[in-house]
Structure 1
């Protein structure tokens, strides 16, 4: 079999190789599943067809003449009950077949993995193997079923069979022409657009039905029973053919993982996620020069005569970037940062664009996002910056703290708060009963259990205090590659994929925090009106609870328990002060 990472991946040969491998290792099991799949499909077809005949029968004064002779021996009522009970029996047979298929598929995939004698390759590999094996056996059964069904349709209603096959032939020609056109345009990584597959069965059935309607209105219409059976068989052909294409497409898209699971000599590449080949191809010299120039030309009316492009290290896996220094005919230079997100980083791209495209964000330390667009299927963000001078690694902690302080000075727009709170849990939501109950279970029998019980008695008060604390835009997951300092000392951050809204004080480092709280509180009250009723205790509580949430999410329960006494003391103190104010 050809190498899976080859550019000219032969899908047909690979499908044949895997099918051959499966039938050779577990032939009996595979044949049983194929037969059960056929039984399920035929049972479902009968369960769909018989109720229709029963309705036709009950709506007629007598048994219709086109019913088989052996059925006319029954009374009309008895025949109706027979058809209904037979339909129910076929449906039960269909359900039993599907249940057996599920069990045997799991058994077959486990045997295939055991046969390869490999370590665990990735999370959820058993599920991937089971689904792949199911799709292969279902595809083989579908080929047999389609062959039999088309043959039966050809015997019953030849003209409708020709119309059905003509539809699929036209679709195949259209796909081939589309591929040829893309090749003529020298498109990279040509892929068939499979978005049209989902409605394909319905469109094909409508086309077949249109032909049937035309034939029924012609001078020589077909008989009614062949027409009814023909349209039912046509629907099954369209559905099964569509499902077959979907299964083969899914198998092709997962060929790296499937080959690594089922073949002894194949290894899973480290870049099995996303679209590595297509993603890297964007950054070849010819390609990057072309699309960078096109993007900047569309973005600005300025006519550039030169673009100096160099690689920019983002520090984020599968997020690539380039620095572009563009020069006009007058010698004026502008600096751009263009980031491209691989498909497995789409969420980060959307998060970043959601924040930076929000109005009324003046003052936050960010490179200005000019445009969020899509480049050949990948999310692309274009920033402008005064400079792209990165900080020394040793100064990362200093600038992270400075960034957090700047962000806390600015109130998030109300529209952003509403959007975020409808989509993501805030700190008090994350410290919910389910999380805390799991925390308590882990502390059973430990010396921290008493402190945990005291904490649980104040959990409602804690959530109310956090809920009443003003929010800020938190961007704590940044490193040296995402922090810039301009020549005049202005701080700028280029990455916002993991931002969140947190109570003021969250994400502050607990070490030596108490000493810096007075100056931080004074600075906040100078810049934000909504912090006038806050105290240093609110900042410390938010910082402790944020750290508690982080530790709980990583299941570091004993470390989290060490924070409980201080959290409990702060909640008690704040509640006491609030009661004193009320009195």
Structure 2
């Protein structure tokens, strides 16, 4: 985050907010300041009560104005004042939330724009409240610094010197160190919080050292100073964090607040710019060549890469060839910072499979390149599938996966992590289906509910197959023998064999041929019938329809599901 740019943007937004809702913003800042002072006093006064309770008389370092009261009266008075300050703090917080909601709605009405994105009112309300807190925090810091300079000048010098030193170090380090420059907003806010806590301990050490050297500051004011310094550093950390978070949301806030700004999606994050920089011709060879050499030995003449569409945002994909040996072909994939879970899920599939076959490629290497996840595949592919043939190719990939038996370690890994289809079938779902069912379909739903336990037991007993959803056409490839392969495996799952097969009237009748071909290659499918596979396909489609809340589609699948279940039972009784 650029500090000066963030400050300029914050000031421009501040003028805009104050111009549109001056009263609500001013009151919000005032109540925020009252809340902070109330919170500080509510924390300080009980400490004084504890000190009085542990003393036989009023300590001499208490202010002269308090010495005239009796000990009991002072304890009761300070305790009541602590409760009053806490009540004021709670009341101020309630008023702040009400003012934030009013200010946000006023700003949206003033912008006179269509709805730009989901939860825009909540985002603007939180941003507006954060803005008011920042204003109040700035005022609090100014008054706290003046009070500190008046009560304990040495502490004011130490706190100010620490702040200037840390500020200079942060600015300098973010300019010189690449890792800090690309730091996420959340990491930067946490770092500022740690530095603020360190500043408190520096002030604490200063008080201890000053006391040992014979300070003239009383214990009472030393305690007050310590609490004041703690609140001062907390407010500073909160102020920096609030500005950083607001600046990270500047595209949405600009679109909501300023007439001349349009919202076209989130900004390209710094991590994404770094990701795409790795694809530049002058840079790609420097990190690709060592990866290829680790897998296939020395590369004579370097490598050349042809970048191809991955079909998935923030995932860079390229076909890499050795210049001296064009037949040595690899597929490299770089995952953006927001695709870390996708990369790990893909790597877990190939890490747990002992062997791979079409459509699963061979994963050669998992590595980190400039803090980005990188996968390198052996890739003797020729070309991508044409768009018109993508649906047939996707179905062929599904059929090919029926023939690949998942390893026991992969099954154990997945079942410990994700709910299986028989676990996702909830009897409570029937209540929602009944809301969309016609009168003549209610008895059918009753039969489905009665058969649900049996259906789940049948699915649980079936062998599993790997499935992958959301395969874009760009992820489907053909090798020189015409074999189909897929390049995207970040969304794989395990389901009973037959699941994910299309259930349309034209495609479902093609399932028996694909299933019988898989039976020839997998001995664990011998005990299954085609009706088992159909049941898995239909229940999987039913589950997907329910997830999309397409309940009419789900209801239409109930009768075929029951029919497949009856066919399984009928075949079993004949045997």
- Fold shared by both chains (TM-score > 0.5): yes
Residue 577 and residue 206 in structure 1: after superposition, are their counterparts in 2 closer, same or farther (change >3 A)?
farther
> Which residue in 2 is equivalent to 1:14?
9
Contact 2:500 2:541 (C-alpha < 8 Å) held by counterparts: yes
Structure 2 equivalent of residue 440 of structure 1:
434
Bigger shift: 295-304 or 16-25?
295-304
The change in CA–CA distance for 1:288 and 1:362 in structure 2 (over 3 A counts) is: closer
Which position in structure 2 is the counterpart of 1:321? Answer: 317
Deviation string 1:264-290 (CA, Å, 9 cap, x unpaired) is 100113453655544444433333344
What CA deviation, in whole Å up to 9, does each residue of 1:305-337 have, x standing for no partner?
Answer: 232222211222332222221234xx4652222
Query: Where does residue 502 of structure 1 map in the other structure?
Result: 495
Matched residue SS, 1:485: strand
- Alignment match, 2:117: 122
Q: Does 1:262 align with 2:242?
A: no
Closer/same/farther in 2, CA of residues 196 and 106 from structure 1, 3 Å limit: same
CA distance in 2, matches of 1:477, 1:498: 7
Task: State which drifts further: 490-499 or 415-424.
Answer: 415-424
Change over 3 Å in CA distance of 1:438–1:310 after alignment to 2: same
* 2:452 pairs with 1:459: yes
**Correspondence 1:212 to 2:207:** yes
Give unpaired runs (5+ residues) of structure 2.
none
Q: What is the CA deviation profile of residues 459-479 of structure 1, one whole-angstrom value per residue up to 9, with x for unaligned ones?
A: 222222212222111014323
1:35–1:317 distance in 2 versus 1, CA, 3 Å: same
1:423, CA displacement in angstroms? 2.6
Relative to structure 1, the CA distance from residue 454 to residue 113 in structure 2 (aligned partners, 3 Å threshold; closer, same or farther) is same
> When the two structures are superposed, what TM-score results if normalisation uses the length of structure 2?
0.92
The Cα shift of 1:74 comes to 3.3
Judging changes above 3 Å, is the alpha-carbon distance between structure 1 residues 221 and 468 closer, same or farther for their aligned structure 2 residues?
Answer: farther
Q: Deviations over 1:14-60 (max 9, x none)?
A: 11100110011100000000001001000000000001101001000
Name the structure 2 match of 1:478: 471
1:380 equivalent to 2:379? Answer no
| Whole-Å separation in 2 of the counterparts to 1:8 and 1:446 | 65
Name the counterpart of 1:395: 389
Q: How many Å apart are 1:110 and its aligned residue?
A: 1.3
Aligned to 1:244: 239
Q: CA deviation at 1:343?
A: 3.3
Q: Larger deviation: 102-111 or 300-309?
A: 300-309
Question: Take 1:204 and 1:353, find their aligned partners in 2: how far apart are those partners?
Answer: 43
1:404 lines up with 2:398 in the alignment:
yes
Q: Pairwise mapping of residues 96-495 of structure 1 onto structure 2 (< 5 A)?
A: 96-182=91-177, 194=188, 195-220=190-215, 222-272=217-267, 274-275=269-270, 277-293=273-289, 295-296=291-292, 301-328=297-324, 331=325, 333-363=327-357, 365-443=359-437, 445-495=438-488
From the superposition, tell whether residues 273 and 560 of structure 1 become closer, same or farther in structure 2 (CA, over 3 Å).
farther
Count residues in correspondence: 571
Q: In the TM superposition, what is the alpha-carbon distance from 1:76 to its structure 2 partner?
A: 2.0
1:514 shift after superposition? 5.9
d(CA) in 2 for partners of 1:133 and 1:230?
31
Deviation at 1:79, TM superposition (A): 2.1
RMSD: 2.8
Distance 1:212 1:364 in 2: 71
CA distance in 2, matches of 1:270, 1:373: 31
SS in 2 for 1:269: coil
Per the alignment, do residues 373 and 127 of structure 1 end up closer, same or farther by CA in structure 2, a change over 3 Å counting? farther
Distance (whole Å) between structure 1 residues aligned to residue 328 and residue 540 of structure 2:
40
CA pair 296-36 structure 1, distance change in 2 beyond 3 A: farther
Alignment partners' CA distance in 1, 2:574 and 2:158: 85
Of 362-371 and 509-518, more deviation after overlay is shown by 509-518
Aligned in 2, Cα 1:518/1:446: closer, same or farther, shift over 3 Å? same
SS for the counterpart of 2:323 is strand
Compute the displacement of 1:484 (Å). 1.6
* Contact 1:274/1:344 (<8 A) preserved: no
Which runs of 5 or more structure 1 residues have no equivalent in the other structure? none
**In structure 1, C-alpha distance between the alignment counterparts of 2:518 and 2:33, rounded to whole Å:** 71
1:381 match: secondary structure: strand
145-154 or 509-518, larger mean C-alpha shift: 509-518
- 1:150 Cα offset (Å): 1.3
Q: Describe the SS at the equivalent of 1:369.
A: strand
Which residue does 1:544 correspond to in 2?
Answer: 538
TM-score w.r.t. length of structure 1: 0.90
Indicate how the Cα distance of structure 1 residues 158 and 465 shifts in structure 2: closer, same or farther if over 3 A, else same. same
1:214: how far off? 1.8
249-258 or 268-277, which deviates more: 268-277
- The verdict on how the C-alpha distance between 1:298 and 1:203 changes in structure 2, with shifts beyond 3 A counting, is farther
1:144-184 Cα deviation digits (max 9, x unpaired): 1111111111111111121112222121121122133248x
- Relative to structure 1, is the Cα distance of residues 9 and 544 closer, same or farther in structure 2, using a 3 angstrom cutoff? farther
Structure 1 pair 143–535 and aligned structure 2 pair: CA distance change class (3 A): same
